[in-house]
Every structure is written in C-alpha cells, then in structure tokens.
Chain A
Amino acid sequence: AQSVTQLGSHVSVSEGALVLLRCNYSSSVPPYLFWYVQYPNQGLQLLLKYTSAATLVKGINGFEAEFKKSETSFHLTKPSAHMSDAAEYFCAVSERGNTGKLIFGQGTTLQVKP
C-alpha cells in the first residue's frame, strides 16, 4: 500500500533561513504529489502539486518542491523563512488510478524564530 513519510514532526528555523521539509513516498509508479499547509484553526490550503510535468514545482508564498524519482522524494523548500510561514505542513500522495485516494503524511510543524 502507498505510504508517505515526513521526516521530522517539528522543524525550527530562524527568520531568513532556508526551510527544508522532507517527504518520501513509496510507489513504483510516480504518483501525484501535493504539499498542503495548515495555519492554526484553519483548513488545509494547497501549496503546490506535482503531476509529472516539470520536476521542480513552484508554489505559492515562495515555496517550491523537487520531485526525485530515484529517491522517491518530494522535499519542500523555501530560501528565506518568514514569521508568517509558521504552520503545519502536510505532504500527500494520490495514486494514479480511479480511486482518487489521497494519503497524507504525519505532518511537520514549522516554527520560525525571530
């Protein structure tokens, strides 16, 4: 069965520092890959989505993610963290096929220190 692993349940960075949130999936066939962000007391919002076009995907708020098939990874990065980036981030995988099932990782809470 498909699974998603996010390495690190909490990540802390200083304002202005690089943000790197890790995501690995298990699939022999490249799936659809997503990153969602959840701000406190809100629902999830889509940051970006990979659908087999370019391997480097640019999203909103300066985030981007690179699909690496050989490493089955889809890590999320942002060159310079802002205080407003503090939130919980979820990596998710949707299997190609006709179920539309979306499988989420456990989530990573990003803390940004001034």
Chain B
Amino acid sequence: EAQVTQNPRYLITVTGKKLTVTCSQNMNHEYMSWYRQDPGLGLRQIYYSMNVEVTDKGDVPEGYKVSRKEKRNFPLILESPSPNQTSLYFCASSRVLNGRRYFGPGTRLTVT
C-alpha cells in the first residue's frame, strides 16, 4: 500500500530536549516536505527536499533541521524544542514538483 508514515504519532517533551520525528514514504517520490498545522493558520511549510541531499527552507524553518540521506526518508529534527513549537506536524511526498501531495497521519508534539 502506498503510504507516508510518521513516528511518533504523539510526543510530549520538555524544553531543550532534542527530538527527531521520522518520515518515510514507499512510493519512490523525489519531493518531500514538512508542514506544521496551527489553528487559524492552516498548514505552513517548514522545509522541503527535491531529492537526496537537496533541501531548502520553507516559510517557518527557524528551530528545525532536516536531512535527506535516502530517497524514502526525511526526518525532522528539533535540536532544542521550545513551547512555541507545540503543533501538529505533517510530512508529505509527491512524485513531481507540483503534483498531488501524499500526507502522513501527523505527529502531535507538545513541548512543556
């Protein structure tokens, strides 16, 4: 089954404790991206990647890092999480640049 998986689905952590949210897709898609969803703001792009070893900042990259060492994986790293990063995070992939995005199920992160 074609899908995007994210782990963990739920995470509660404390300020400053590094964490990684994994994202994996099994569709051989070149394009992957991370979004955060906040009430009243819709989804905002954090980072995106057009291919292995090619990443670029989206609209809200501050406080986040990503890497793309393999085509299927695109982890999101929070080196020092802060409470304003409490949000719902989605990973997405697409076969072509402006094509349909396939979204993961989301990761709800709470930073206390």
Tell me, in angstroms, the Cα distance from A44 to B35 when the chains sit together. 11
Contact between B42 and A105, CB atoms less than 8 A apart: yes
User: In the complex where A100-B97, A101-B58 touch, is A106 in contact with B104 (Cβ < 8 A)?
Assistant: no
Beta-carbon contacts of B57-88 to A below 8 Å, as 1s and 0s?
01000000000000000000000000000000
| Chain A positions within 8 Å of B90 at CB level | 43-44
| Chain B positions within 8 Å of A101 at CB level | 45, 48, 58
9 A–B pairs (Cβ distance < 8 Å), ordered by A: A4-B42, A9-B40, A32-B98, A36-B101, A36-B103, A42-B106, A45-B103, A101-B58, A102-B101
Residue in A closest to B106 when the chains form the complex, CB atoms? A43
Tell me, in angstroms, the Cα distance from A107 to B88 when the chains sit together. 14
Asked if B109 is at the interface of the complex by the 8 Å CB criterion, the answer is: no
Asked if B11 is at the interface of the complex by the 8 Å CB criterion, the answer is: no
| Chain B positions within 8 Å of A45 at CB level | 103
